[in-house]
Amino acid sequence: MPEAPPICSSVSRAAHEPLYGTASRVRGWLLLEQPGPWGGTALLQSRLDADLGRELHARAEAARVRLLLVRRPGRDQAGRRRCFVAHTGRRTRWVEQRWLDDPAELLDLDLGGVREGERPGFGGPLGDPLHLVCTNGRHDRCCATFGRPLAAALQATDLGERVWECSHIGGDRFAATLVCFPHGCYFGRVGPADGARVAGGYEAGLVDLDHFRGRSCDPPVVQAAEWLARRRLGLRRLDDLVAEHAEAGPDGTVRIRFAGPAGPVEVGVLVGREEEPRPLTCHSATLEAPPTYRLVELDRRPAA
């Protein structure tokens, strides 16, 4: 009997693949509570009405809003459910929540301005942070293997009421993956023993660089530049660096300017590719070479 191939998260770890620059690029979000099992395509393979799922998917795609299913860890409850609408921009961030008697109420939601930061007024403002852990094992087994223990561990902490399991958020090979709102900060390879420190640190306004993948509002090269600058300069507060401008040069170097309380920071990152392609998910049919990012310039100017 042929030996099963290694799971994608093991391949990524063995290759010492960095986490930075790997967050999915998302600014608008719609999160629908849907208890029970999910298939690989969660929206269409759950207990949610399939016709409604297809319609919501089409509307979210047209508005360029990420639509996810969420559920409370370890619970399978029927009846009224919650939904969240969120915007995770660089300077504009918010989350609204609403209780639904019927998920078809979401058809009344205008998603058009959510990606641009316009509050739809569909629900009330959510004052607390929100933490999503991907546990969509039918999409990729790594997400269930590592995500479910993390969700359970977080559920048992003081953060528990703000923790939700979610469908696919990107980066299966970095499981367990965690996204923290309202900033849209992605974290990866978060073990059960790490969860409270990473999520609790975020709530305290801090970035755990050992697990930080990037902010969902920024392109990968900007995410990488932020991490590299933070590591070099020892910056951990969320507002220490906010991207303002990026410009690509002919030599493959991208120069990014960040603003921060201590003054602007200019970062140059050389973008390349790993030499050896490999499967990037457990179900990949092709091999791909992940991008690489190397710090080549760093200039910190004191605030005037």
Mind listing the pLDDT tens digit for each residue in 166-206? 999 988 899 899 999 999 999 999 999 999 999 999 999 99
Range of the domain at 235: 219-300
**287 CB neighbour count, 10 Å cutoff:** 10
| Domain finish residue from 169, 203, 237 | 203
| Residue 51 sits in the same domain as residue 149 | yes
Q: Is residue 17 assigned to a domain? A: no
| Residue 120 sits in the same domain as residue 181 | yes
60 in Cβ contact with 44 (< 8 Å): no
204 in Cβ contact with 174 (< 8 Å): no
| Domain finish residue from 172, 203, 234 | 203
| Residue 199 sits in the same domain as residue 239 | no
- pLDDT, tens only, 100-159: 999 999 999 999 899 999 999 999 999 999 999 999 877 778 888 999 999 999 999 999
| Residue 189 sits in the same domain as residue 260 | no
| Residue 103 sits in the same domain as residue 143 | yes
| Residue 125 sits in the same domain as residue 249 | no
| Residue 192 sits in the same domain as residue 225 | no
Q: Is residue 58 assigned to a domain? A: yes
Given this model, what pLDDT does residue 142 score? 85
Q: Is residue 239 assigned to a domain? A: yes
* Of residues 175, 232, 180, 225, the one with CA closest to residue 206: 180
- pLDDT, tens only, 235-286: 999 999 999 999 998 888 999 999 989 899 999 999 999 888 888 887 877 8
| Residue 107 sits in the same domain as residue 193 | yes
Q: Is residue 155 assigned to a domain? A: yes
